[in-house]
Structure 1
Amino acid sequence: MSRKTNYRIGSHSRRRGGGRAGGREWRQEQYEEENNEEVQSRAEPSEPRGTCMSMCPARELREREAQRRLHRFEMLAGTERDRMPKADPSRTVKEYSRPAAGKDSTRPSDLRPPSVLLKTVHFLVDDIAASPTLQPWNEVYDFVFDRLRCVRQDMVIQRVSGPECVAVLERMVRFLLYASYRLCEEPLRLYDPRINDTHLQECLSWLLDCYSSGEHQHQEEFQALNLLYNLGSARALQCALELPERVRTSPAVCLALEVNRAHLERNPVRVLRMARRLDFLQSCALHRHLGACRRDLLMLYSHGHSSRNCRFPLQHLSHLLALERPRTAQLCQAVGVAVNGDWVAFSKTSYTETPLGDVPSCLSPELVDKKQGDRTVSEVIHGCA
């Protein structure tokens, strides 16, 4: 992958100020610190180094507060219903903005250094994404997605690399994978899987490129996730086969390679059987391919068990597809497979190649949900075992 890849972009900070007085003191301190930093940075080289030690630069905080552009998650408690809500400096996070002509995006006082970016990601995961009180979750996703995009923007501008860059990207990938599953049943106006996929692929590419420069603790995990998320991709397989033997022969990568092999051999029964062996996040990565895999299974059975007198138990078919009986019956009817009570009648003449988009995506309690166990969202995204 080219080192000049355009990684789009999302944000952290120290928590300060518990009320309005604390907020005013914080703003004055940040204003003085910001002016001093600008004077010191005028003669710096073209590669900027961030000096903003808060999740949101003081300049942006003042502007968004004056323009009433604060998200409800960022408002100071008690001022939400005011005509001009106040910003809570401990919860306000720099938002993503597109590069514009004449706009200086390299001002050090507006950029957060890597340590602050990592702390920002921790805040977004622990205090926002994993919060049991912030609802609905699609709004939580939109907020976290935008702020993480801005974190990447700051990283790209500063050409951040090293362990902190890897730690940030790993959490981004886990969050986007988790969200791709949790929101899969949401309507398009609330969640766009294509946009999520675009940013997830960018984060994965950048992360795998970072891994090429040395050994990292979680490399096996993310190499396996890349194989499962891009199931059947020749590029992903080639990259995996070129990995160092220590990584390529790890249990996670070996299992992901076996799933890919079953997929390339057009063996959906084996893919679904092996999917039961994946952990929670690996199952989230594979989930977007399960719909096509289940349809392939129904197509093969429609040809292999096509007979007027042949009846197949619906319960057994549900087990093979790892779906509840109502969902199995719904899928069968969508592709032209007849369902009569507790039995299914396969026929190669009645099977219909329905476009995948016409079959709604659905959650999979059997193959995904139950594997999360008692792990919190925060533990999933931080990679806690």
Structure 2
Amino acid sequence: MNPWPAVVGICSAMCADEEVRRRKAEKRRHVLERCTSGDIRMVKEYRRSAAGVDLCNSRHLRTIEALLMTSDYLIDNILDRKDVSWPVVYEFVADRFRSILQDITIQRLCCETTAGIVLRCLRFFIYAGYRLGTSWPGFQAKLNGDMIQQCISQLLFCYDGSSVHSCRCQNEWAEFAAIYLLYNLDSSEPCLYILSQPTKRRQHPLISLAFKIFLAKTTRNYVRFFRLVDQLPAACLSCAIHRHVKKFHRLALKVMNTGYSMKNCLYPLKNLATILALESEEEAGALCAEHGIEVKEGSAIFQKGSYQESSKKDPLSRYSFIDKFLTDDVKIFDIIKGHFSKK
């Protein structure tokens, strides 16, 4: 039990009056704090712990109602802004979400509403990791990854300290646990965490599917792995597994190069692209060439000893099993609010 009492925030606005005055005097209003209507709506920014900075001042800490209002505002009014580039939107929203997480941590908030807010933050950083990690050279993947793990840690704390009774809370827990497992496929900790939960929780369809993917990865069954990944019902779940796809491509090629190593045996690139969830035969051929596997007349020629580990840094690629959720008619706020987009 923590001997120190938690600080209780009393700020009911998105930004405390003192910060509004300070930033106005310093002329540090962000372009996205000016609404499309011309009104100014300032949102508390993230501040690092430093000498002279009182992060625990209750007047500066927002209540749980204010934090929910702030997350609603950022998601509904900022994420789909078209008057600035999305990297600018990301940097603004990421900073303000960090501030929300900071307020939650300082106050040690732990309830169903808190878990819902942190899950929104988690979805945002997962989604941004895919969207910007494949398109923006200036994207700080390490910082974004750290924020994902921080969200996961806070959700573990929230769900450990609050009851998961309502149907909505059970579904949100299942989504979180599935993301936790899929994002950390190389770790046994998410698996042990889920196995420690009551049977009813573990029987949720999302948990069952995530576990099947985990087992396919553990048993190196690349065909089943990609078939199951294509069944994921939401954008953030697919984005969560994105960082593991390249590694599994390498594993699949290594296994196939040994298993299909026969004289005059040609493996069609069309079939290879389908199995590995690649966009085209050309992409499958490029993957083979990158690893020293000969390509001839639209087919791969697998020969023992020909496989080579790529010496270049693997760029993150986009995949159709994720992009099917990210069509032009899909609003980002729907993704971050957890509105599932089934095929």
Residues 167-197 of structure 1: CA distance to partner in whole angstroms, max 9, x if unpaired? Answer: 1111011111111111121344x21222111
Residues 58-101 of structure 1: CA distance to partner in whole angstroms, max 9, x if unpaired? Answer: 2212222222222111247799xxxxxxxx542x1111111112
What residue number does 2:109 align with?
160
Structure 2, gaps ≥5 residues long: none
Does the CA-based 8 Å contact 1:337-1:350 persist in structure 2? Answer: yes
**d(CA) in 2 for partners of 1:173 and 1:329?**
35
The alignment partner of 2:295 has SS state of strand
Q: 1:119 aligns with which of 59, 65, 69?
A: 69
What residue number does 2:30 align with?
71
**d(CA) in 2 for partners of 1:297 and 1:95?**
45
Matched, 1:181 2:126: no
Q: 1:299 aligns with which of 230, 244, 254?
A: 254
The alignment partner of 2:324 has SS state of helix
**d(CA) in 2 for partners of 1:192 and 1:56?**
26
* Residues 197/77 of structure 1: CA separation in 2 closer, same or farther (3 Å cut): closer
Q: 1:348 aligns with which of 294, 304, 311?
A: 304
* Residues 275/65 of structure 1: CA separation in 2 closer, same or farther (3 Å cut): same
**d(CA) in 1 for partners of 2:202 and 2:6?**
36
Matched, 1:329 2:289: no
* Residues 78/324 of structure 1: CA separation in 2 closer, same or farther (3 Å cut): closer
* Residues 139-288 of structure 1 mapped to structure 2, 5 A cutoff: 139-188=88-137, 190-212=138-160, 213-215=162-164, 216-217=169-170, 218-279=172-233, 280-288=235-243
The percent of aligned pairs where both chains have the same amino acid is 35
Task: Give TM-score, length-normalised by structure 1.
Answer: 0.80
Structure 1, gaps ≥5 residues long: 5-44, 80-87
Structure showing greater Rg: 1
Does the CA-based 8 Å contact 2:223-2:275 persist in structure 1? Answer: yes
Does the CA-based 8 Å contact 1:128-1:134 persist in structure 2? Answer: no
Whichever residue aligns with residue 137 of structure 1, its letter is: W
**d(CA) in 2 for partners of 1:294 and 1:101?**
48
Does the CA-based 8 Å contact 1:311-1:346 persist in structure 2? Answer: yes
**d(CA) in 2 for partners of 1:281 and 1:46?**
36
- Displacement after TM superposition at 1:359 (Å): 2.0
Does the CA-based 8 Å contact 2:110-2:157 persist in structure 1? Answer: no
Task: Give TM-score, length-normalised by structure 2.
Answer: 0.90
Whichever residue aligns with residue 378 of structure 1, its letter is: F
- Of residues 103-112 and 230-239 in structure 1, the stretch that sits farther from structure 2 once superposed is 103-112
Whichever residue aligns with residue 128 of structure 1, its letter is: I
What residue number does 1:61 align with?
20
Whichever residue aligns with residue 186 of structure 2, its letter is: G
- Of residues 119-128 and 55-64 in structure 1, the stretch that sits farther from structure 2 once superposed is 55-64
What residue number does 2:315 align with?
360
* Residues 134/229 of structure 1: CA separation in 2 closer, same or farther (3 Å cut): farther
- Displacement after TM superposition at 1:119 (Å): 0.8
**d(CA) in 1 for partners of 2:331 and 2:187?**
31
Does the CA-based 8 Å contact 1:134-1:140 persist in structure 2? Answer: no
